[in-house]
Amino acid sequence: MLFTRGRITRQAHVDIPEGTVEEEYARGGFFGRYAHIYRTAPLVNWSRIEGYLRPLAFTLERLPGLGGDYTSSRTPFLRNADCVLRFATLLEAMPYYFRNGDGDEVLFVHRGRGVLETDFGPLAYRVGDYLVIPRGTMYRISPEQETRLLIIETAGEVRLPEKGILGQHALFDPAVINVPTPECPAAELGASLLAPRNGEWEVRVQRQSRLTSIFYPFDPMNVVGWKGDLTVWQLNVADIRPILSERYHLPPTAHATFVADRVVIVSFLPRGLETGDPNALRVPFYHANIDYDEVLFYHAGEFFSRAGVGPGMVTFHPQGLHHGPQPQAVAASKTKERTEEQAVMIDTQSPLEVCPEAYAAEVDDYWRSWMGGMRSRSSANAPEAPDAAVRYSQPEHEEVR
């Protein structure tokens, strides 16, 4: 059943009644039941927020512990039972192999280039690559330049989204996904093969957030061939072709790149705006988070829906809060015909917890940015995590952060 009451528009996101703003109130990440609510002012025009629930922003390059050993410096900033979000900086090649037994990993290359060695063979990576590594795959990263990675670990299998009537070649043809070939020697890609230490090769395995080291008298990266449909994927954002509409603002999920159980990974890329109708909305519509937490990692370009953010920053809008474009973005959108942003969005159905390490990189008063101001926090002045934040138990033996 569909009901209409009061002052509304016949077409969503177009011809919004004068003096009102449109808010989408929807279930299932814009795919379920919905209501469009027309207000005289958006509910992000708050004057105060008291309590733990608030929009947050982080400058990930300021997280503690970056740049050290890979397994100990993959600093987490948000997590729940379905996924863990981390950021890592690699300066040198890993002196061991790594295998994640807890989940699949999506490594997004924010900066740098180098070689990813895997059970299936090596891949030369570059800026803008998604590297999808199935659970249990052994790998090693050998940077040729300082490498900064957004790491998304998911408990469920990472897969491609259903594309429905758009067809399987929408957004990107699956044929553009690169997979490794073991016959291609890593040395040809600029990597140096892992040398043994004291006559042994080490593999570090993560399981239940704990690390175990397994040692071999031979190099375990010894695969000479493979077959099947489970392997490492490499997809660069340059090969993604966003879906466009000149007369209608598409929901964020139209740009979905990968999905896992209760997790959606979306790529926002340069694209034309809604120039085919002068009354069509050009910025993201105001909406309430009913079923998803929303995380947005800003990779490159100009982020037209946010002011005061730059590459390497993350914004976090938890369930229960309204959000949408800031006033500066709404005004700027009226003359824009394109957006040049590059960003990765992670939507999760289960609420995300803020990791204690993240507060050192928090941008103070991000919630005030709709009111005109925010500032970065220095690590020295970072507060303790709020009491409402759930603490994760620390086992006596070594645990992966």
Structure confidence by residue, pLDDT tens digits, 319-329 = 988 877 766 66
- Whether residues 245 and 364 share a domain: the answer is yes
**Distance set, CA 384 to CA 52, 65, 379, 381, 400 (Å):** 12, 17, 11, 10, 21
**Residue 134 in domain:** yes
Is the alpha carbon torsion for 148, 355, 350, 312 positive or negative?
negative
Question: Is residue 164 located within the same domain as residue 303?
Answer: no
Within this chain, do residues 99 and 220 fall inside the same structural domain, yes or no?
A: yes
Shared-domain flag, residues 193 and 254: no
Rounded Cα gap, residues 138 and 19, in angstroms: 57
Is 383 among the domain residues?
no
* Domain limit, last residue, from 237, 261, 278: 237
Backbone angles phi, psi at 253, to 5 degrees: -70, -10
Is the residue at 390 inside a domain?
no
> Is residue 160 included in any domain, yes or no?
yes
| CATH code of the domain covering residue 107 | 2.60.120.10
Give the pLDDT mean for 193-214.
93
Q: Is residue 391 assigned to a domain?
A: no
pLDDT value of residue 389: 37
Q: Is residue 382 included in any domain, yes or no? A: no
Looking at the structure, tell me whether residues 206 and 347 fall in a common domain. Answer: no
Partners of 175 in beta bridges: none
- pLDDT, one tens digit per residue, over 230-279 is 999 999 999 999 988 888 777 888 889 999 999 999 999 988 887 888 87
Contact status, residue 218 vs residue 201, Cβ threshold 8 Å: yes
CB 336 within 8 A of CB 357: no
Retrieve residue 364's tokens: 């103070």
Domain span holding position 41:
21-58+239-373
Looking at the structure, tell me whether residues 287 and 171 fall in a common domain. Answer: no
What whole-number percentage of the chain has pLDDT above 70? 87
- 49 and 80 co-located in one domain: no
pLDDT band at 306 (very low <50, low <70, confident <90, very high): low
Instruction: Tell me whether residue 172 is in a domain.
Output: yes
Task: Identify whether residues 216 and 331 lie together within a single domain.
Answer: no
Q: Are residues 110 and 221 in the same domain?
A: yes
Q: Are residues 121 and 32 in the same domain?
A: no
Same domain assignment for residues 200 and 85: yes
Provide the number of structural domains found in the chain.
Answer: 2
Considering the domain architecture, whether residues 49 and 75 belong to the same structural domain is answered as no
Residue 131: inside a domain: yes
d(CA 37, CA 348): 24
Best CA proximity match to 342, nearest among 296, 289, 301, 391: 301
pTM assigned to the model: 0.89
